[in-house]
Chains A and B, each alone.
Chain A
Amino acid sequence: MNQKYWPLLATITVFIALFVIGGSMYNNFLSTLVLGHILADNAFIIIAAIGTTFVILSGGIDLSVGSMIAFVGVVMAVLDSAGWHPLVTIAMMLAFGFLFGAFQGFIIDYCKIQPFIMTLAGLFILRGGCFMVTLDSVPIKHPFVKMMASTRVPLPGGGFLTTGAMVMLASLVIAIIIAHYTRFGSNVYAIGGDRESARLMGVPTRKTTVLTYATGGIYAALAGVVYALYTSSGYPLAATGAELNAIAAVVLGGTLLTGGVGLVAGTLFGGMILGLISTLIIFHGSLNSAWIMISSGILLFVFIVMHRFLIGSFGRQKLS
């Protein structure tokens, strides 16, 4: 089996193991209901993490994701109160996410700025923007949003898929196609592997960087739309720190933070593992919630060390 699938295999094994452990510890855990809940509750994080996967594959980082989610939500909520149709605001916010991401990517490439600091600026700008728009949580009352939020596709065994979960799965399929079957996708891997070699081989680095952050931006905006549907409201303090959860999901999914190595599909399982850990701890009922972060942190630590040994060698092979 191709070595590049090993990290994905490890991620899926951990996911199944955690699910089975939960099933052996608690009643009602091994069910499609719990699986459906995990997909519904983590859909927005996974969508954001898919966008972040592209950015990390290209060797960058995007910290503006959580603020983008909240910003999209509050703008949707405020425009909803002003009588706009949600489909119009959704289209507008997706375009905004794309352009904002493209702007960040352009500045990073043109000014040779660390992606960390550029997107940190993005984080502050968008979170501040949320507070400019509103300080309160604003409900979204349009019947279309209510309908989308309450639509459920039943799964066998009592579970269900929410609209958010279905949007997430669809956006995952699109991301897999972009990453593995398009010229842009291979360019992202190329500049993440070795930017200078990629440039010498004729990869358009600026265009690829701009498009990578634009993809990250539009996925973050989509995550914001799903979050707004999920809570039927916009809240300026929503999704604080979501960018870090998204990065954790990407790394747990087997993508190397140094760029160039990883699979988009892994991010789905990385995000679900994070959701599964918190569900496991909440099911216990008397464990301190701090254990959610501690166990996620330990798992993340184990994964990065494991990646080092598992794919360290093949990462270098790829470059030579």
Chain B
Amino acid sequence: MKVKTILLGAAVASGLFAASVSAQTIGFSQVGSEGDWRPAFSADMQSTAEEMGIELKFANAQGRQEDQLRAVRAFIAQQVDAIIIAPVVVTGWDQVLQEAKDAGIPVFLADRDVEVDDPSLFVTRISADFNLEGRLAAAWLAAESRGGCNIVELQGTVGSAPAIERNSGFMAVIDQFPAMEIVATQSGEFTTEGGKRVMEAFIKSTDNLDGICAVFAHNDNMQLGAIQAMKEAGLNPGQDVLMISVDYVPAIITAIEAGEANASVELRSAIGQFIYPVVLEYLANPTELEKWIVIPSDLHTAH
């Protein structure tokens, strides 16, 4: 079981490190450029490195593990000071990480995890915690509804890590409140169409959301679909029913400003400010770190 720690104040500290540490060369092997989140993450890693005076070697593996292994070996040959990997898959890392270790280059993981026999092959994993996002959403809802709320849930793709973790984090908090309950839950596959379809079904099965106080969606896209379905049924999302979701994409910001959604938990893409300070501090002072450093989630509401 991994110990979780929350890294607070890292953003503040990043400014200090930029001034005090001489230029370090870091290799970063990224998965690819799928979706909206990952290219934003790549761009942030590059711009933050520039701001902090880090020489970044960036390699995009285009979703192929063989390209990623090639990139990591090229970083080793170049004798970079540290390597950051956002792995394509969890398996197959033992040899190349051993080679990095033999060359005395510390490896950090961003985003996804790896399965290795020897946990000392990487220093730590720095990523967001889906479970924490679920807990944060539930905590906001508990405060907002004074601990009494019938909730409908739009789940992500069944079996995916974000869907499992956001649900279990959410459940862990609402279990503390006897008057809070999920009365209906179904998968909307993380898509706008899926969210709309599921919400239309919920509206019928609950007689126009009678007695429902909140909608929790595992991502903003499904929530946007749900808002559409509710408006078409003549309901007032954001006023009659509390709307909370995860991701904080531009479209949900507009919806929050229009009063049709109430809150969104941000899945940050600007996480270079959390990752680099950990790497730089380790390079300056190599000590054993926790195996998972959690990037804090942020909650955005209308006011």
Q: Which residues of A contact B (CB under 8 A)?
A: 26-29, 31, 33-34, 37, 40-41, 44, 137-139, 146, 149-150, 227, 230-233, 235, 237-240, 275, 278-279, 282-283, 285-286, 288-289
Contacts and interface: CB of A to CB of B under 8 A. Distances in A.
Given A29-B77, A285-B56, A231 B92 contact: yes
A34 B65 CA distance: 19
A41 B76 CA distance: 13
Contacts of A285: 27, 55-59
Given A231-B69, A232-B94, A283 B89 contact: no
A75 to B, nearest CB: 15
Interface string B71-87: 10111111100000000
Contacts of A37: 70, 73-74, 76-77
Nearest to A238: B65
Contacts, number: 93
B91 A283 contact: no
B71 A282 contact: yes
B98 interface: yes
Nearest to A289: B60
A240 B64 contact: yes
Contacts of A149: 94-95
A33 B79 CA distance: 11
Contact of B70 (A29, A33, A227, A282): A282
Contacts of A275: 70
A286 B91 contact: no
B89 A41 contact: no
Q: Taking each of A40, A230, A231, which has the highest tally of chain B beta carbons within 10 Å of its own beta carbon? A: A231
A289 B62 contact: yes
B89 A233 contact: yes
A122 to B, nearest CB: 21
A285 B58 CA distance: 5
Contacts of B98: 150
Contacts of A235: 65, 89, 91-92
A231 B65 contact: yes
B115 A283 contact: no
B84 to A, nearest CB: 13
Contacts of A231: 65-66, 69, 91-92
Nearest to A37: B73
A28 B79 CA distance: 8
A100 to B, nearest CB: 22
Interface in B88-102: 89-92, 94-95, 98
Given A149-B95, A235-B92, 6 more contacts: A137-B92, A230-B66, A235-B65, A283-B74, A285-B27, A289-B67
11 contacts: A34-B77, A37-B73, A37-B77, A137-B92, A139-B115, A149-B95, A230-B66, A235-B92, A278-B67, A282-B70, A285-B58
A41 B69 contact: yes
Interface in B182-221: none
Interface residues of B, number: 33
Contact of A279 (B57, B58, B63, B74): B74
B77 A286 contact: no
A238 to B, nearest CB: 7
Nearest to A140: B91
Contact of B91 (A26, A44, A139, A146): A139
A41 B75 CA distance: 13
Nearest to A29: B77
A235 B58 CA distance: 25
Contacts of A146: 94
Contacts of A289: 59-62, 67
A238 B67 CA distance: 11
B78 A278 contact: no
Given A137-B90, A286-B58, A41 B95 contact: no
A152 to B, nearest CB: 9
A53 B73 CA distance: 28
A41 B66 contact: yes
Given A137-B90, A150-B98, A240-B64, A41 B59 contact: no
Given A26-B78, A232-B92, A233-B92, A41 B58 contact: no
A31 B92 contact: no
B95 A28 contact: no
A238 B68 CA distance: 12
A153 to B, nearest CB: 14
A27 B56 contact: no
A242 to B, nearest CB: 8
B56 A41 contact: no
Nearest to A234: B91
A31 B70 CA distance: 16
A34 B70 CA distance: 10
Nearest to A159: B77
Contacts of A150: 94-95, 98
Contacts of B115: 139
Contacts of B74: 34, 37, 279, 282-283
A114 B36 CA distance: 41
A146 B64 CA distance: 22
A44 B69 CA distance: 13
B70 A138 contact: no
A31 B27 CA distance: 19
Please list the 3 inter-chain residue pairs (A to B) with the smallest Cβ-Cβ separation, ordered nearest first: A231-B92, A285-B57, A233-B91
B69 to A, nearest CB: 6
Contacts of B92: 137, 139, 230-233, 235
Nearest to A138: B91
A227 B95 CA distance: 13
A44 B64 CA distance: 14
